C-alpha cells in the first residue's frame, strides 16, 4: 500500500497530532465535526523526514499527493490556483507536534502574481486592496521563503511615502502600490539574481521547502534542545484556502465568544465588520458592530453562526473564542480556542454548564482557577479607566482602595472617624499604629516584606496593603513622599491595588465584591468533594466571624500577641515586661487575664463549636516596647532641655530595659516557648484565660474545642515542660469553676530540628501545626524581610529560585521536612492531627502538596478560605482519592 503523506482536512482528526502537528489536528477536528472551516490539506511530519532522507528535496510521491490534494481543494472552492478570473489563494503555515516559536512564519495570499492581482481587484471591486495584498505577499514570501531581509522592503516603502508626502499606508492609492510592487521585484532580482516567481505552483513548492528547512534552523534546534523536544519529529505543513471578508456588503469578518466573557451570561458576545479583513477588526481603524446586529444584516449567516457556536461548545465542553469570516454570504470558521474570562464569568459558566448537562460537577470545579477568586472577595479597580502609575511594591494584601494620604496613625484615626477615606503611608508600621490601620482604607509601607506587621494585620482585616515599596522616599516630618521627581503631599489622593502592588495617582473607580448564588453553589460542591479540612487564621472575634461566614471549619491559628497590641493594653504589657520583681509582673498579668479571656470568649462564640487553635505568645518582648532609636533621641533631648523632669527618669529606665532586651538576631532569639520556659507565668496566665473562657461558655451551654499550641519548640523537653504547665492550669480552673471541658495540646513545627525529631515530639503532642512561614526562614537561613527587600526578587528573575518560597511552598526542601514531620509523628502516634498554618495554607499548589502529604487541614487568612476550599476540592479530584463525605471541620 502506498504511504500516505498528505491528508485533506476531512481525513484527519484531533488525535492525529503526531502526524498532522497541533494546528493541522485542530483544523481536521473542526472539519470532522462539520464546521465550515476554509478547506485545505496538511502535509504530514513523515513527509518532512522523507524530505531530509532524500537530501532536502521533496520526494516525487509527496509532490504527486500535494498536487492531487490541490486539485481537490480547487474543485471544492470553485477557484483555481493561478486563474486570472477567479484565483484561489492559499496560506502556508508550519505546524509541529509541540508549539515551537522560531519555526517558519506564515505566508498569506500565496498564488498572487501579475495576473491574479487584476482578477482580485475586479472580484473585490477594490484594486487598492488587491495591490496592497500583492505587495504584502511579495514582502512576506521574499523574507520567509527567499530569505531577503524585510528591512530593504520597509526602506523602499518609507522612501516612497516620503516622496509622495504621505504619513501612513492607508493614504497610498492602487497606482502607488503598483509602483512599490515594481520596486519590490527589483529588490528580489538584486538579491536572488532571479525574477520574483510568477508561477503559483512554483511559489507553493518553494514555500513547502522553506517550512521543512525551518525545522532545522538554528533557533528551532536551540529551542528543541532547551525544551527536550526530539529532533526526529519533523514539522507538518498546513495549506489552507484564503477567504476574504472584504468582497462587498455580503462579506465581513469578526470575533465572538459563545458566552459573555465578563459576566458569563449565556449569550453570543462579540463584534464584526461588514466588508473588512480580519486585521481591520483588531487594528481598530473602523468601529465594529455588536454580533447581535448580524441577525438583521445576514439572518441566514447569523443562524448558521449561532448553531456553529452551540455545536463547538458541546464538542469542546468549554466556552469558545471564535474567529470567523463571511465571504459572499458564506460563513467560515478560521479558529476556535478556549476563551479567557473573568472570575465571575468562570464561576457562572462552570455552574451553568453543569445545569445544562454539558459537564459534570468535578469538571466544573477544575474549571475555575482558585487564584481568580481573590478578584471576587475584594474591591477591585475597574479596568475601563486610565491609571497613572506612581510606583510598585510588594502585593502584601489584596483589594483596592482610594483615599487621601496621611503619614501618622493618629491622623488616620482622626480623619477616618470624621468619615474621610485615608491611606496610611509609613516607612513601616508597629503595634502602636494599629488604631490608624483600623481607620485607614489601606496601608502602604516603604520597608518590610510580606510578613511584616502591616502585611499580617492588613490581611487579617481584609484591607489592601502594599509593603516594601522602596521607590517611595517618605518624609514623615514634612508630611510628603517623593517618587523620582514627583512629590505627593499630605491630603493628596492616591489609589492602590494590593493584588498587584501598584500605587496610582488620583481616584480610580472601583468594582464592589459580589458573591453570586453560583459562587456559593460551586463552593458547596467543593465541600462535598474535598477530603482535607479548611480553617482560618484569625486573631479577634471579627476575623473569626468573617472566617465562619466564608465557610472555615475552625481556627487553625489564633496569634495571642495581636491581642496585646491593643492601645489600651500596651501600657499594661509594658508594665509586665519592665517589672523587676515577680510580684509586679504577676500584678500586670492579672490585669491582662480578663482582657485575654474576653477575647477568647468572643472567638469561641463566633466559631460555634468548631476547633480553635490558640498559639501562646510568640514574638520577643522588645516588640511591645518603643523603638530604641526613637527612644534614644527623646532621652537625649530631655537630658539637654529638661534634665530635672520626672519624664526623663521614666524614659531612661525604659531605654535601659529596651537595651537589655535588644537582640542581635531576634528571629532566632528569646521568643516562642523560650519565653514560656524563662517566664512560665506569662504562658500560665494565657492558658488560664483560655480555660476560664471555655468554662464560661460551657456554663451557657455552648460547646468549645480549644487547641493550645506551644510555638517554636525545637526539643521535646521544651514541649514536655510547657505541656505540664498547661495541664496544671486546666486542673486549677476546673477545680475553681467546677466545670469540665475538653482541650488538646500541640506544637507548631517551625524549626528543622522539630521536623527531624518529630517522633520524639509527638509523644508529648496531640497535634502538629506546620508554621511554614518560619520553617521556610529557618530552612533557607533567610530573614524574610531582608530577603524580600534585598535579593529574593533578583533570585526569581534570574531563575535561581522558581518562585518566592514565602508565597509558594518549597516542596523539595521545606516540603520534605513537612513530609518527614508527618511520617515520624504519625509513626509514633497514629492519632496525631496535622495541619499547616503558614501563608502557604491559602496557595493552591501548596494546598495540593498538603493533600498529597496527608495533612488533616490547611489554615489561611479569612479572605482566602473560599480559595482554599476550591483548591482542596481540586487536589482531591486530581489525585482521585475521593470520599463522598462533607468536610466542614478539620
Catalytic residues: 453, 837
CA 518 to chain centre: 22
Radius of gyration, CA atoms only, the chain: 35
Separation between Cα atoms, residue 814 and residue 791, nearest integer Å: 20
- Residue 307 phi/psi, 5° resolution? -65, -40
- 426: β partners: 445
- Residue 131 phi/psi, 5° resolution? -70, -35
Runs of H (alpha helix) within 357-427:
361-367, 373-377, 409-417
55 SS3 class: coil
> CA distances (Å), 84 to each of 81, 175, 363, in order?
9, 20, 53
> CA distances (Å), 35 to each of 31, 315, 350, 419, in order?
5, 11, 24, 60
CA angle, corner 341, sides to 338 and 346, nearest 5?
95
Name the DSSP class of 104: P
Closest to 879 in 3D by CA, of 856, 843, 842, 854: 854
Closest to 169 in 3D by CA, of 159, 181, 157: 157
Sign of CA dihedral 807, 810, 811, 814: negative
> Taking the CB of residue 426, how many other CB atoms lie within 10 A of it?
23
Sign of CA dihedral 309, 312, 316, 320: negative
- Burial level of 46, CB count in 10 A (0-12/13-18/19+)? middle
Closest to 62 in 3D by CA, of 45, 79, 74: 45
> CA distances (Å), 540 to each of 152, 290, 566, 607, 890, in order?
70, 51, 11, 11, 20
Closest to 449 in 3D by CA, of 729, 22, 806, 34: 806
Separation between Cα atoms, residue 561 and residue 820, nearest integer Å: 29
* 462 close to 860: Cβ distance less than 8 angstroms: no
* 429 close to 453: Cβ distance less than 8 angstroms: yes
Separation between Cα atoms, residue 777 and residue 806, nearest integer Å: 8
How many Cα atoms within 13 Å fall on the side-chain side of residue 535?
27
Closest to 235 in 3D by CA, of 248, 220, 246: 220
Separation between Cα atoms, residue 671 and residue 619, nearest integer Å: 5
Closest to 237 in 3D by CA, of 55, 65, 54: 65
Strands (E), 22-68: 40-43
Which residues does 230 contact at the CB level (< 8 Å), separation at least 6?
Answer: 224
Separation between Cα atoms, residue 330 and residue 209, nearest integer Å: 33
* 76 close to 39: Cβ distance less than 8 angstroms: yes
Sign of CA dihedral 648, 654, 659, 660: positive
Taking each helix axis from N to C end, the angle separating 646-661 and 628-641, rounded to the nearest 10 degrees, works out to 150
How many residues appear in the chain?
890
Instruction: For the sheet with 269-274, list strands across it.
Output: 289-290, 269-274, 252-257, 320-327, 330-338
Name the DSSP class of 839: G
Separation between Cα atoms, residue 459 and residue 452, nearest integer Å: 11
- Burial level of 607, CB count in 10 A (0-12/13-18/19+)? buried
Amino acid at each position: 500500500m502506498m504511504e500516505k503523506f498528505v491528508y485533506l482536512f476531512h481525513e484527519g482528526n484531533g488525535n492525529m497530532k503526531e502526524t498532522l502537528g497541533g494546528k493541522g489536528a485542530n483544523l481536521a477536528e473542526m472539519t470532522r465535526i462539520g464546521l465550515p472551516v476554509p478547506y485545505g490539506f496538511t502535509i504530514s511530519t513523515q513527509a518532512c523526514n522523507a524530505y531530509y532522507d532524500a537530501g532536502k528535496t521533496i520526494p516525487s510521491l509527496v509532490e504527486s499527493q500535494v498536487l492531487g490534494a490541490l486539485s481537490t481543494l480547487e474543485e471544492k472552492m470553485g477557484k483555481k490556483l493561478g486563474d486570472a478570473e477567479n484565483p484561489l489563494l492559499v496560506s502556508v503555515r508550519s505546524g509541529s507536534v509541540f508549539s515551537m516559536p522560531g519555526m517558519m512564519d506564515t505566508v498569506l495570499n500565496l498564488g498572487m502574481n501579475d495576473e491574479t492581482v487584476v482578477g482580485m481587484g475586479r472580484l473585490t471591486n477594490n484594486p487598492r486592496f488587491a495591490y496592497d495584498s500583492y505587495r504584502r505577499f511579495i514582502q512576506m514570501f521574499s523574507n520567509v521563503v527567499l530569505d531577503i531581509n524585510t528591512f530593504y522592503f520597509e526602506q523602499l516603502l518609507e522612501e516612497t511615502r516620503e516622496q509622495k508626502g504621505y504619513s501612513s499606508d492607508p493614504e497610498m492609492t492602487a497606482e502607488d502600490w503598483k509602483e512599490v510592487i515594481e520596486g519590490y521585484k527589483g529588490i528580489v532580482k538584486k538579491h536572488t539574481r532571479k525574477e520574483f516567481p510568477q508561477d503559483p505552483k512554483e511559489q507553493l513548492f518553494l514555500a513547502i521547502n522553506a517550512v521543512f528547512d525551518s525545522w532545522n534552523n538554528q533557533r528551532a534546534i536551540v529551542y528543541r534542545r532547551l525544551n527536550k523536544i526530539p529532533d526526529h519529529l519533523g514539522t507538518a505543513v498546513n495549506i489552507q484556502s484564503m477567504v476574504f471578508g472584504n468582497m462587498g456588503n455580503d462579506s465581513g469578518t469578526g470575533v465572538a465568544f459563545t458566552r459573555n466573557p465578563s459576566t458569563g451570561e449565556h449569550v453570543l458576545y462579540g463584534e464584526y465588520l461588514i466588508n473588512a479583513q480580519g486585521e481591520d477588526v483588531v487594528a481598530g481603524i473602523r468601529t465594529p458592530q455588536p454580533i447581535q446586529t448580524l441577525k438583521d444584516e445576514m439572518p441566514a449567516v447569523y443562524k448558521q453562526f449561532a448553531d456553529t457556536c452551540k455545536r463547538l461548545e458541546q464538542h469542546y465542553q468549554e466556552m469558545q473564542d471564535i474567529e470567523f469570516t463571511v465571504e459572499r454570504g458564506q460563513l467560515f470558521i478560521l479558529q476556535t480556542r478556549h476563551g479567557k474570562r473573568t472570575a465571575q464569568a468562570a464561576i457562572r459558566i462552570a455552574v451553568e454548564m453543569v445545569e445544562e448537562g454539558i459537564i459534570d460537577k468535578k469538571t466544573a470545579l477544575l474549571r475555575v482557577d482558585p487564584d481568580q477568586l481573590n478578584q471576587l472577595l475584594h474591591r477591585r479597580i475597574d479596568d475601563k479607566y486610565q491609571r497613572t502609575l506612581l510606583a510598585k511594591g510588594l502585593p502584601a494584601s489584596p483589594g483596592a482602595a482610594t483615599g487621601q494620604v496621611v503619614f501618622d496613625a493618629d491622623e488616620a484615626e482622626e480623619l477616618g472617624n470624621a468619615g474621610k477615606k485615608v491611606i496610611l503611608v509609613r516607612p513601616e508600621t508597629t503595634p502602636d499604629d494599629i488604631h490608624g490601620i483600623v481607620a485607614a482604607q489601606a496601608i502602604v509601607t516603604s520597608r518590610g516584606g510580606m510578613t511584616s506587621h502591616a502585611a499580617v494585620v492588613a490581611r487579617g482585616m481584609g484591607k489592601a496593603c502594599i509593603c516594601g515599596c522602596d521607590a517611595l522616599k517618605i518624609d514623615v516630618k514634612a508630611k510628603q513622599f517623593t517618587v523620582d521627581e514627583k512629590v505627593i503631599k499630605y491630603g493628596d489622593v492616591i489609589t492602590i491595588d494590593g493584588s498587584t502592588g501598584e500605587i496610582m495617582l488620583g481616584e480610580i473607580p472601583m468594582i464592589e465584591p459580589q458573591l453570586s448564588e453560583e459562587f456559593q453553589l460551586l463552593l458547596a460542591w467543593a465541600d462535598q468533594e474535598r477530603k482535607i479540612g479548611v480553617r482560618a487564621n484569625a486573631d479577634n472575634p471579627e476575623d473569626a466571624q468573617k472566617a465562619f461566614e466564608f465557610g472555615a471549619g475552625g481556627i487553625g491559628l489564633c496569634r495571642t500577641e495581636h491581642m496585646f497590641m491593643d492601645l489600651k493594653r500596651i501600657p499594661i504589657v509594658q508594665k509586665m515586661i519592665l517589672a523587676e520583681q515577680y510580684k509586679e509582673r504577676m500584678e500586670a498579668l492579672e490585669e491582662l487575664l480578663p482582657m485575654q479571656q474576653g477575647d477568647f470568649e468572643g472567638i469561641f462564640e463566633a466559631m460555634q463549636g468548631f476547633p480553635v487553635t490558640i498559639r501562646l505568645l510568640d514574638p520577643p518582648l522588645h516588640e511591645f516596647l518603643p523603638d530604641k532609636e526613637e527612644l534614644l533621641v527623646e532621652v537625649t533631648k530631655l537630658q539637654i532641655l529638661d534634665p530635672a523632669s520626672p519624664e526623663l527618669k521614666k524614659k531612661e529606665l525604659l531605654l535601659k530595659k529596651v537595651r537589655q532586651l535588644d537582640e542581635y538576631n531576634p528571629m532566632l532569639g528569646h521568643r516562642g516557648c523560650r519565653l514560656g520556659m524563662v517566664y512560665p507565668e506569662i504562658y500560665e496566665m494565657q492558658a488560664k484565660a483560655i480555660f476560664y473562657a471555655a468554662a464560661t461558655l460551657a456554663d451557657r451551654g455552648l460547646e468549645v474545642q480549644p487547641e493550645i499550641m506551644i510555638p517554636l519548640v525545637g526539643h521535646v523537653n521544651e514541649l514536655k515542660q510547657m505541656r505540664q504547665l498547661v495541664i496544671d492550669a486546666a486542673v486549677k480552673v476546673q477545680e475553681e469553676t467546677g466545670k469540665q471541658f475538653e482541650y488538646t495540646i500541640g506544637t507548631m513545627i517551625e524549626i528543622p530540628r522539630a521536623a527531624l525529631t518529630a517522633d520524639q515530639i509527638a509523644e508529648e503532642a496531640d497535634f502538629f501545626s506546620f508554621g511554614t512561614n518560619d520553617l521556610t526562614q529557618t530552612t533557607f537561613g533567610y530573614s524574610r524581610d531582608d530577603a524580600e527587600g534585598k535579593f529574593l526578587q533578583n533570585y526569581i528573575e534570574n531563575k535561581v529560585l522558581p518562585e518566592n518560597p514565602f508565597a509558594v511552598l518549597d516542596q523539595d526542601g521545606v516540603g520534605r521536612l513537612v513530609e518527614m514531620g508527618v511520617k515520624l509523628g504519625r509513626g509514633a502516634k497514629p492519632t496525631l492531627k496535622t495541619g499547616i498554618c503558614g501563608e502557604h495554607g491559602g496557595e493552591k499548589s501548596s494546598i495540593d502538596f498538603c493533600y498529597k502529604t496527608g495533612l488533616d487541614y490547611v489554615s489561611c487568612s479569612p479572605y482566602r478560605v473560599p480559595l482554599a476550599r476550591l483548591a482542596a476540592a481540586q487536589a482531591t479530584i486530581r489525585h482521585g482519592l475521593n470520599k463522598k463525605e462533607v468536610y466542614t471541620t478539620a
